[in-house]
């Protein structure tokens, strides 16, 4: 590997820019190329990083020698991962990793067959507060988990490209799959594998939304875990007066209350003082460092969320959508 690791980006939206900015501060990393179907978006980041731009992943990979790649695409647009696997490139995929569970499993199998280092963008697994609570729950298993993401009504915003697909169920998978995936992944990280879900959705309340809007205004999803714990998670894009991110975990002698995007946590234990652990503001840098270190050293031990494990989180959210459609509990495949 050269002195500077050459990293390419498949997708040039907001998340790609966030990761590129973090990587550009590392002395041993070069932001080497971008590809995106939107030439305006790609041109802006390419000019900033003085990197070549391409219309497709295949073109980028044929023209630029890379050591690793970041895939930062909307949920419906995946598939470029197969190009990376074909060339034996380690890759990082932003969440949610796909809409198509079968395709995600095929990608995971391909990467595993080539022993590729992979990482998914579940950055909360690297937080000190999350890891502290996880260690406590190893001795005192979780019983009940509640939490979710509450936000306002999506409005037409021509300046924000995300609304062109986020409000369409066939493209985003809905808020629970696209956004609350972070909370689902943390619940899995703390409780283990899920085996069954039962979801309810609310529709018809939001007005003034884009014409293409067809996602749920809100949803609640009950989850049963293999270890016996249960969870009630929620999503809402219908609350303009108040909202936020939360996750509460209750065991026999431990309770943890996470709040905010940064997941600051209050840890309460029987017979001990309450401890507050502030959430890190630069958590993207932490997961980027873990991926870059793993690729450079050829050792994935520091990666908290390999692609294959992220497939399990996707399976929970896909099952939730299946339950919403069928109106009854469904098994997590």
Domain boundaries in the chain? 5-123+284-306, 124-280+314-331
Question: Token digits for 192?
Answer: 């283990």
Q: What is the residue-wise DSSP string for 196-234?
A: EEEEEEE-S---S--TT--S-SEEEEEEEETTS-EEEEE
pLDDT more than 70, % of the chain? 98
- What is the value of pTM for the model shown? 0.96
**CATH architecture of structural domain 5-123+284-306:** 3-Layer(aba) Sandwich (3.40)
CA pair distance 127, 125, nearest whole angstrom = 6
What tens digit of pLDDT does each residue of 98-144 get? 999 999 999 999 999 999 999 999 999 999 999 999 999 999 999 99
Query: In the CATH scheme, what is the code of domain 124-280+314-331?
Result: 3.30.360.10
Residue 40 has pLDDT above 90, yes or no: no
The pLDDT of residue 160:
61
pLDDT more than 90, % of the chain? 91
Higher pLDDT, 156 or 54: 54
Residue 42 has pLDDT above 80, yes or no: no
The confidence band for 43, taking pLDDT boundaries of 50, 70 and 90, is: confident
CA pair distance 151, 243, nearest whole angstrom = 5
Host H or E run for residue 181: helix 181-191
The pLDDT of residue 45:
83
Mean pLDDT within 308-314: 98
The pLDDT of residue 3:
83
The pLDDT of residue 93:
98
């Amino acid at each position: 590997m050269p002195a500077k690791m050459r990293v390419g980006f498949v997708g040039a939206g907001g998340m790609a820019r966030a990761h590129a900015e973090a990587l550009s501060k590392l002395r041993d990393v070069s932001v080497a190329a971008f590809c995106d179907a939107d030439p305006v978006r790609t041109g802006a980041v390419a000019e900033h990083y003085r990197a070549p731009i391409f219309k497709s992943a295949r073109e980028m990979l044929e023209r630029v020698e890379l050591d690793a790649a970041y895939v930062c695409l909307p949920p419906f647009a995946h598939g470029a991962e197969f190009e990376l696997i074909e060339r034996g490139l380690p890759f990082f995929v932003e969440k949610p990793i796909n809409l198509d569970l079968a395709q995600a499993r095929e990608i995971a199998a391909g990467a595993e067959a080539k022993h590729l280092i992979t990482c998914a963008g579940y950055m909360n697994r690297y937080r000190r507060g999350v890891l502290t609570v996880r260690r406590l729950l190893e001795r005192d298993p979780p019983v009940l988990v509640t939490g979710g993401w509450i936000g306002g009504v999506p409005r037409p915003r021509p300046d924000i490209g995300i609304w062109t697909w986020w409000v369409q169920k066939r493209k985003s998978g809905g808020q629970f799959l696209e956004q609350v995936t972070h909370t689902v992944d943390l619940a899995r990280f703390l409780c283990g594998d899920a085996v069954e879900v039962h979801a309810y959705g609310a529709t018809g309340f939001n007005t003034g939304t884009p014409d293409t809007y067809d996602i749920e205004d809100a949803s609640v999803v009950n989850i049963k875990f293999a270890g016996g714990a249960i969870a009630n998670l929620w999503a809402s894009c219908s609350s303009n007066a108040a909202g936020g991110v939360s996750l509460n975990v209750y065991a026999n002698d431990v309770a943890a209350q996470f709040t905010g995007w940064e997941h600051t946590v209050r840890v309460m234990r029987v017979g001990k003082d309450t401890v507050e652990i502030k959430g890190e503001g630069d958590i993207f840098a932490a997961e980027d460092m873990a991926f870059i270190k793993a690729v450079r050293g050829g050792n994935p031990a520091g990666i908290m969320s390999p692609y294959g494990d992220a497939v399990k989180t996707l399976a929970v959210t896909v099952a939730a959508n299946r339950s919403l459609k069928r109106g009854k509990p469904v098994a997590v495949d």
